[in-house]
Amino acid sequence: MNKPVSPLFGSTMNPRKDGNMGRMLVEQGKLTLEQAERVRRLQQEQGLRFGEAAQRLGLVSELDIQQVLSRQYDYPYQESAGNYPAALVAAYQPFSDEVEMLRSVRSQLMLRWFTASRKTLAIASVNAGDGTSLLTANLAIVFSQLGLQTLLVDANLRKPCQHRIFNLAAGHGLADVLAGRAGLEPLAVAESFADLSLLPAGAAVPNPQELINRSSFNALNQTLRSRFDVILYDTPASASAADVLTIAARAGGVLLVVRKDHTKVADLSAFSDQLRRSGTEVVGSVLVSF
């Protein structure tokens, strides 16, 4: 995963709850009943939390405790390698420093941008290969983990990749909706993330810019705003397509992805100016390194 560093715009609460932790660890096979009783005795003797006592006895790891906490607080994520690529760190490593940084970006966006009337945001970069798609995918997951109805739209009709990241079967998507060949049937719920939906790019088309500029995009935006709390648009790089200017203008705001030692300041400044002239608010930027 492109590692976020120093978001240019935090920490999150990590509540701990002992109730039922012992039972859940036994049910998961992490502890035997005898071991759970040993933990309970140490807990009572030294006034510890159950998880702390279990760790002190060397019976469980910090990851074991975090997994139980995620279940207690309804915080969905994948506990082992499975359906998604390892770079989707928000799915597999929700307690890592990288994901803490993603949560910090999320918090800033919630404070500075998303409101009841502002639900759409484009994620964009100057160059292809700057990690925009993976950052967008991971941000979508951390928004959905708040219990917000979140939609990730793959608006990169030239080189889409969200369908590969989330292992969606090839089929209809945004291009088909904009062309009037499909309704909202292509919307798919991401497996294991009940509050995350995806609208893939859909069929390869010869005229992506013309489709993006259709009035049907505005109509689609309005429909989606009535159904979702947060809508993130993954966009093509500005250096390779002008589509991003239209997508960002329709979204109203844009979060810029800046790749360390790769994105040129002059190019970023020119892109920012283009966005502002098109009526788009540059909400902030995220520096990534990989």
| Orientation of helix 132-144 relative to helix 97-112, angle to 10° | 80
Task: Kindly state the helix (H) or strand (E) to which residue 219 belongs, with its residue range.
Answer: helix 215-225
CA distances from 122 to 1, 27, 67, 156, 243 (A): 20, 43, 32, 11, 12
Within 10 A of 15 (CB to CB), how many other CB atoms are there? 8
**Contact yes or no for 136/244 (Cβ under 8 A):** no
Higher pLDDT, 60 or 83: 60
Residue 84 tokens, joined = 């998604």
Residue 120 exposed, middle or buried by CB count within 10 Å (0-12, 13-18, 19+): buried
Say what the pLDDT of residue 249 is. 95
pTM: 0.76
**Contact yes or no for 249/169 (Cβ under 8 A):** no
Say what the pLDDT of residue 266 is. 96
Whether the predicted pLDDT of 11 surpasses 50: no
Whether the predicted pLDDT of 170 surpasses 60: yes
Give me the residue label for tokens 């590969």. Answer: 164
Give me the residue label for tokens 């990288």. Answer: 98
Hey, what amino acid is at 47? Answer: G
Task: Kindly state the helix (H) or strand (E) to which residue 253 belongs, with its residue range.
Answer: strand 253-259
Residues 28-57 have a mean pLDDT of: 85
Q: What is the pLDDT of residues 97-136, one digit of tens each?
A: 888 899 999 999 999 999 988 999 999 999 999 999 999 9
**Contact yes or no for 255/9 (Cβ under 8 A):** no
Query: Which of 30-44, 162-176, 254-268 is the least confident region?
Result: 30-44
Q: What percent of the chain shows pLDDT beyond 90?
A: 54
Whether the predicted pLDDT of 74 surpasses 60: no
Task: Kindly state the helix (H) or strand (E) to which residue 89 belongs, with its residue range.
Answer: helix 89-92
What are the backbone angles phi and psi of residue 259, rounded to the nearest 5°? -90, 125
Higher pLDDT, 87 or 258: 258
For 36, residues 6+ apart whose C-beta sits below 8 A from its C-beta are: 22, 23, 25, 26
The confidence band for 241, taking pLDDT boundaries of 50, 70 and 90, is confident
Taking phi first (over 0 means left), then psi (-120 to 50 degrees means alpha), and beta for anything else, what does residue 254 get? beta
Report the alpha-carbon distance of residue 110 to residue 88 in Å, rounded: 21
What is the dihedral sign for C-alpha 99, 127, 276, 154?
negative
Say what the pLDDT of residue 84 is. 77
